[in-house]
Structures are given as structure tokens and as C-alpha cells.
């Protein structure tokens, strides 16, 4: 008998879990069904910056997850022959207002690189050198640090790419919402489906997904919005790094004069998916600090998604205590495109081996689930 595995949620965690379940040596003994509603998905809305190494966060387990997550993404891109619209390794530039802060950042980067060689080359750039590397940003305010290993993924394309691969093997996808009936049964479009294992990868909706089983999940939702502009008459098509200015929104060049600006972090609005024009205006005003000649008329896309946060901002994943058939991965916050593929991989591995120990990467799951 084949093992029946369900994945609820087709964002980066669910799609990565599906991909890795298709890579397992015994994949021919596993049937995987992925359910995805898609509404408000954080993955599709995300800016896609993969550059965790200089984060100020003190949580060492989170850092291990993010550092190894960034490395895994680069490996997946090579292994699966991803195109440059899906994964682009053009580097990141992080600016600092204060020269001493920049020197400190440089020292930290050199230290971190000892354990993360994928950071690549690290160099301090003057404002003029920044403009040469990112000509679309024609008036950078401060000097910055360039890290060649920084990358960007387009979350929606990344998931589609992985799901396409898995669908050729052991994956079936059902679009729409599913609901728990009990620890092994899901209801989908008025039918009940039995599964040996169920992976909950519903991001900010994990609380609602698990509620019918009486399981409490300590996460909160946060709205994020960003915009994409087409900078008028910008023709240069060179590959450009992502720019992360201090205390400002990030600027992500996409080629063909397109630039993403964002993203916001709105705790009040939670699951609200409305695009707010006042936010769009604010993002454009901020971008004026760095780019001349753009206005709200140049906005070609606005995206909104819902992030999931835990109280200590750390993701959680694993088998739910007292519910051996159910695994969960959520709470990925603002760096979930970076950590999500590794969380998905670990969940896929746990489906076949419950004894795996990930203490290096996570706190006990009981801190987030009861």
C-alpha cells in the first residue's frame, strides 16, 4: 500500500515539501495531494530578497535556518535548472547612513562568511559605485556593502516550477480550500479524503486550519503591500543587485526598467487584502529619495499578502504533539522565502522518519502549539 500524504497550502513551504517528497528515494511508495486556496498567499506577494547574513536578529536557531535556507535555494535553482526570472543571483547592497556602522557591518560580514561561503565576495561601495552597479537607482544617499551571494526569487514562479516537477511524479494538486474532519480525514468539495500524514503549510491561516481539531496555534497575521513600477525611459538591461537601504523600503530591480518597492508591515490590517492607494503613494514618495522621474502613473502592479508571525518572530515546524499524523510549518514572518524551502524539506523528511532531530534549527514546537 502506498503512503497517502496531504499538503494543505501551496505557498513556499507546501510547494517545497511537495518537491522534496518527490525527490525522496522511496517516492514511488508515496502519493501526495496538495490543496491550495491561494487567497492572500504571502509567497506570491513577496519581494523575494534572499540575503539573511547580516540580519540584526539574535536568535541563533533562526539564523541557522535562514543561512542554510539561502544555501538550499541556490542548490535547488541549479538542480532544477531555474530560469533567471525565477531565481537571480545578482547580489545585494546594504547601505548605512553612518560610516562607522558600515565598517562594523563589513567586519560582521567577513566573520559571517567564515560559516557561509555562499555570501561570495564582500566589498564596500561608494555612492558612485552603487549607481554603476544599479543604474536604475540614480541618486543613492549613502555608501553600502555589496554581497555577491545575495539573490532574489519570484515566489509564485518558484513554487510553480517545483510543483511542475513533482506533478510529473507523485503529486496531484486540488485547487481550493480543505477542512480537517479528524486527524486523518480532510473534507474537500463535499468529499472526504483519508491520509496517513497531513502537512499543514497554510502560513498565516494555520490557526484557522487547526482549530477544528481543538489545536491552538500562537501566530498572528500581518498585511504586507508592495508596488512594481516601470521607470520611464530607462533602457539599460544590465543585471542589477537588490538594494536594502537603512530604515527605508527595499528596491528590487527586475530588468526592462521594472523596479519593486516595498514592502510594508501592517499589524492592524492583518488579513485585509485591499490595495491601499495611500500606501502606494507612500512607497513612491520613499522611492523618490533614490530614483528620479517616477510617479504613481508608473505603477504597473500592486501586491498584497499576509505574513504569519510568532511572539518571538521564529518559525516553527514539526509533528504536532499528541497528533502523530499531523505536521505543521508556519510563522515564517518576513523572511519566509529564505527559510521556507528548508522548512518544506524538513517536513518532507519527517513524513518518512519521525525521529529526525532539528534542535539546531528550532525551539520545541510546544512553544507555539497547544
Task: List interacting residues with ligand FAD (CB under 6 A).
Answer: 8-14, 35-43, 45-49, 155, 177-178, 201-205, 209, 224, 226, 262-263, 305, 307, 330, 332-338, 340
Q: Which long-range contacts (CB under 8 A, 24 or more apart) does 180-183 make?
A: 180/209, 180/210, 180/212, 180/213, 181/212, 182/213, 183/213, 183/323, 183/325, 183/326
| Closest CB to ligand FAD among residues 170, 338 | 338
| Closest CB to ligand FAD among residues 4, 127 | 4
C-beta of 105: minimal distance to ligand FAD in Å? 19
C-beta of 262: minimal distance to ligand FAD in Å? 6
C-beta of 216: minimal distance to ligand FAD in Å? 17
Which residues, 6 or more positions from 237, have their beta carbon under 8 angstroms from its beta carbon? Answer: 255, 256
Cβ atoms of 27 and 169 within 8 Å: the answer is yes
Helix, strand or coil, per DSSP, at residue 257:
coil
| Closest CB to ligand FAD among residues 47, 130 | 47
Cβ atoms of 22 and 31 within 8 Å: the answer is no
C-beta of 29: minimal distance to ligand FAD in Å? 25
| Closest CB to ligand FAD among residues 228, 298 | 228
The three cell numbers locating residue 239:
543585471
C-beta of 163: minimal distance to ligand FAD in Å? 12
DSSP 24: S
| Closest CB to ligand FAD among residues 257, 262 | 262
Which residues, 6 or more positions from 266, have their beta carbon under 8 angstroms from its beta carbon? Answer: 222, 223, 224, 225
| Closest CB to ligand FAD among residues 134, 337 | 337
| H or E stretch at 19 | helix 12-23
Helix, strand or coil, per DSSP, at residue 68:
helix
Closest residue to ligand FAD, based on beta-carbon distance: 336
C-beta of 211: minimal distance to ligand FAD in Å? 10
Which residues, 6 or more positions from 55, have their beta carbon under 8 angstroms from its beta carbon? Answer: 63, 66, 335
| Closest CB to ligand FAD among residues 155, 257 | 155
C-beta of 333: minimal distance to ligand FAD in Å? 6
C-beta of 138: minimal distance to ligand FAD in Å? 23
| Closest CB to ligand FAD among residues 15, 27 | 15
Q: Is the dihedral of CA 85, 12, 70, 269 positive or negative?
A: positive
**Percentages (nearest 5) of helix, strand, coil residues in the chain:** 35, 30, 40
Amino acid at each position: 500500500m502506498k503512503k497517502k500524504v496531504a499538503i494543505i497550502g501551496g505557498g513556499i513551504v507546501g510547494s517545497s515539501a511537495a518537491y522534496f517528497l518527490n525527490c525522496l528515494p522511496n517516492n514511488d511508495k508515496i502519493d501526495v495531494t496538495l490543496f491550495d486556496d491561494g487567497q492572500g498567499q504571502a509567497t506570491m506577494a513577496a519581494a523575494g530578497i534572499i540575503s539573511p547574513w547580516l540580519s540584526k536578529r539574535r536568535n541563533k536557531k533562526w539564523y541557522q535556518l535562514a543561512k542554510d535556507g539561502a544555501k538550499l535555494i541556490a542548490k535547488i535553482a541549479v538542480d532544477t535548472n531555474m530560469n533567471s526570472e525565477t531565481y537571480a543571483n545578482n547580489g545585494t547592497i546594504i547601505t548605512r547612513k553612518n560610516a562607522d556602522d558600515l565598517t562594523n557591518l563589513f567586519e560582521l560580514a567577513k566573520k559571517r562568511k567564515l560559516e557561509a561561503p555562499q555570501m561570495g565576495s564582500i566589498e564596500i561601495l561608494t555612492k558612485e559605485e552603487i549607481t554603476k552597479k544599479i543604474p536604475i537607482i540614480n541618486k543613492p544617499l549613502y555608501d553600502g556593502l555589496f554581497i555577491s551571494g545575495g539573490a532574489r526569487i519570484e515566489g509564485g514562479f518558484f513554487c510553480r516550477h517545483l510543483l511542475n516537477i513533482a506533478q510529473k511524479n507523485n503529486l496531484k494538486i486540488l485547487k481550493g480550500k480543505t477542512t480537517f474532519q479528524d486527524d486523518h480525514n480532510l473534507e474537500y468539495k463535499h468529499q472526504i479524503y483519508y491520509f496517513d500524514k497531513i502537512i499543514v503549510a497554510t502560513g498565516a491561516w494555520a490557526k484557522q486550519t487547526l482549530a477544528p481539531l481543538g489545536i491552538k496555534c500562537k501566530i498572528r497575521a500581518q498585511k504586507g503591500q508592495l508596488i512594481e513600477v516601470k521607470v520611464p525611459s530607462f533602457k539599460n538591461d544590465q543585471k542589477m543587485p537588490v538594494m536594502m537601504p537603512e530604515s527605508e523600503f527595499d528596491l528590487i530591480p527586475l530588468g526592462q526598467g521594472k523596479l519593486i518597492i516595498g514592502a510594508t508591515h501592517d499589524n492592524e490590517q492583518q488579513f485585509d487584502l485591499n490595495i491601499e492607494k495611500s500606501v502606494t503613494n507612500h512607497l513612491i514618495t520613499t522611492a523618490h529619495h533614490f530614483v528620479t522621474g517616477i510617479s504613481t502613473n508608473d505603477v504597473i502592479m500592486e501586491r498584497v499578502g499576509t505574513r504569519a508571525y510568532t511572539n518571538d518572530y521564529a518559525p516553527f515546524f514539526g509533528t504536532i504533539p499528541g497528533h502523530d499524523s499531523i505536521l505543521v510549518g508556519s510563522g515564517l514572518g518576513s523572511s519566509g522565502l529564505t527559510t521556507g524551502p528548508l522548512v518544506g524539506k524538513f517536513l518532507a523528511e519527517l513524513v518518512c522518519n519521525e525521529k529526525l532531530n532539528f534542535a539546531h534549527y528550532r525551539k520545541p514546537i510546544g512553544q507555539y502549539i497547544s
